[in-house]
Amino acid sequence: MAGQRQRKLLTATVNQYPLMAEVEEFTPPEVKKTMAVARGGKFIPDEVMVGMEKLTYSLKVKGATAGLLAAYGLQQGEVCQVDIKTSEQDKDGQIYAIHYSLSGEITSMKEDVVKMGNQPALTLAGSLMAYLKTENGSVIYDINTKTQKIDLGQGDLMAAHRRNVGLA
């Protein structure tokens, strides 16, 4: 068993604007199913999946420049592409390449408190229409709200349903 991993490098690209030393932290989207109680005539109810929660993320950057801030001013319908790449290593020396590909709209940019003695920082948050996470090239998540593709690592849950309504 490999044990715990250590993150060795972390980079980000926001609409082709590269970041590395500026990246403070990244909060990936929470992939969460929407569940509903299914009881009917049963004595003990259970739950069934009826959808997915919306996908959001945040990225905290030190020393944001005007080039990065311009991504917030995208026109309606334009997509902001954010890519986060990390390299991790476990105790056995195994190396892992993690890639988060996020497509959507930046919904907020919040600056930290401005005071002497600290570094300027900015947290940008976004709402996603597409989210792809891979580890060493293998899909962990591939979710797209426009195409209704939902792959949680075991294949597309919606493929047959898109075919049923003529969307495949």
DSSP 28-78: PPP--EEEEEE-TT-SS-EEEEEEE---EEEEEEES--HHHHGGGGPPTT-
In-domain check, residue 155 = yes
Question: What total number of domains does the chain contain?
Answer: 1
Distance CA(109)–CA(118), nearest Å, equals 18
The reported pLDDT for the residue numbered 150 is: 97
In-domain check, residue 41 = no
Q: Which of 21, 119, 17, 116 is nearest to 73 (CA)?
A: 17
CATH code of 70's domain? 2.30.110.20
Q: Could you tell me the sign of the dihedral formed by the alpha carbons of 56, 24, 22, 66, in that order?
A: positive
The reported pLDDT for the residue numbered 118 is: 87
Contacts 24+ apart (CB under 8 A), 135-139: 135/96, 135/97, 135/98, 136/96, 136/97, 137/97
The reported pLDDT for the residue numbered 1 is: 64
In-domain check, residue 113 = yes
The reported pLDDT for the residue numbered 65 is: 78
Residue 104 near residue 86, CB atoms below 8 Å? no
In-domain check, residue 127 = yes
| pTM score of the predicted model | 0.90
In-domain check, residue 144 = yes
Residue 23 near residue 88, CB atoms below 8 Å? no
Residue 140 near residue 122, CB atoms below 8 Å? no
Question: CA geometry: angle at 85 spanning 76 and 147, to 5°?
Answer: 45
Alpha carbon of residue 51 to chain centroid: 18
In-domain check, residue 151 = yes
In-domain check, residue 20 = yes
Q: How far apart are the first and last CA of the chain?
A: 41
The reported pLDDT for the residue numbered 168 is: 76
The reported pLDDT for the residue numbered 141 is: 98
The contacts of residue 158 (CB under 8 Å, 6+ apart) are: 148, 149, 150
Full residue range of the structural domain in which residue 130 is found: 5-36+46-164
The reported pLDDT for the residue numbered 76 is: 67
pLDDT tens for the chain, 168 residues: list them.
678 999 999 999 999 889 999 999 999 999 999 999 999 999 999 999 999 999 999 999 998 777 777 777 777 678 899 999 999 999 999 999 999 999 999 988 898 999 999 889 999 999 999 999 999 999 999 999 999 999 999 999 999 999 999 987
The reported pLDDT for the residue numbered 148 is: 95
